[in-house]
Amino acid sequence: MDNDTATRIRESAHDLIAARGYFGFSYADIAEVVGIRKASIHHHFPSKVDLVVATLKEYRAKLVEGAGGLDKSVDDALQRLRLYVRHWQECVQSNNRPICIAALLGAELPALPEEIRAEVQLHFRYLVRWVRATLKEGASSGSIHLQYGVDVEAQSFVAVVHGAMISARALGSPEIFNSITKNALDRLRPSS
């Protein structure tokens, strides 16, 4: 498999999913963006489901790598969460991949093929586990205050960040994302 071509196909699929959702693009769109024939796409990814699953797996791998990098390089748990939010803030602000494709596909979940639903769920399970571990560590060290149990707080944080992306997109306002996520982070700060 020509890895460069496969990578360009996946990158194009990522951008098209972010812009249009699962049902809003075809192999013809990817062929036009990448500059190849549809048959070449089918060579690498026999079906659209195969392509979207591969795109989601790559997307999750980048999440795992990024979260691991934060775990290794940032001691303060709350600061890790701030940096996670800042990543999305920059994406929303610059309109460069301004929405998590797993969140976008999550909204389409009932209509998606089972293989894609499974990948979306794996993405969120990993993300919630990472946030839960980060919150738990922060609560233990005193850098994070939890109003509710760690499981509820982790699910809430993920939902707020992803919901803020959708609200910012729907209203065409990056400031919406910033104010919602600032409130979510402020809620976690221990009172002085």
Whether residue 7 is predicted with pLDDT greater than 90 in this model: the reply is yes
105 within 8 A of 21, measured Cβ to Cβ? yes
Confidence of residue 1 (pLDDT cuts 50, 70, 90): very low
Whether residue 63 is contained in a domain is answered as yes
Q: Spell 39-59 as b/e; 16+ CB within 10 A means b.
A: ebbeebbeebbebbbbbbebb
Whether residue 160 is contained in a domain is answered as yes
**Span 60-85, mean pLDDT?**
97
Whether residue 57 is predicted with pLDDT greater than 80 in this model: the reply is yes
Whether residue 44 is contained in a domain is answered as no
What range does the domain containing 119 cover?
Answer: 56-188
* Structure confidence by residue, pLDDT tens digits, 91-135: 999 888 889 999 999 999 999 999 999 999 999 999 999 999 999
Which residues have C-beta within 8 Å of that of residue 47, sequence separation ≥ 6?
none
Query: What is the percent of the chain where pLDDT is above 90?
Result: 95
Whether residue 17 is contained in a domain is answered as no
Q: How far, in whole angstroms, is CA 107 from its chain's centroid?
A: 13
* Residue written as token pair 């990948």: 119
Helices 174-188, 150-171: axis angle to 10 degrees equals 160
Q: How far apart are CA 64 and CA 172, in angstroms?
A: 29
- Residue 117 maps to which CATH number? 1.10.357.10
Range scoring the smallest mean pLDDT among 57-61, 66-70, 98-102, 182-186: 98-102
Whether residue 158 is contained in a domain is answered as yes
Average pLDDT, the chain: 95
Whether residue 28 is contained in a domain is answered as no
136 within 8 A of 150, measured Cβ to Cβ? yes
Q: How far apart are CA 180 and CA 173, in angstroms?
A: 12
* Structure confidence by residue, pLDDT tens digits, 152-164: 999 999 999 999 9
Looking at the 3D structure of the chain, how many domains does it have? 1
Whether residue 72 is contained in a domain is answered as yes
Would you say the pTM of this structure is higher than 0.85? yes
Residue 2, pLDDT score: 61
CA-closest candidate to residue 160, choices 104, 71, 85 = 85
Whether residue 90 is contained in a domain is answered as yes
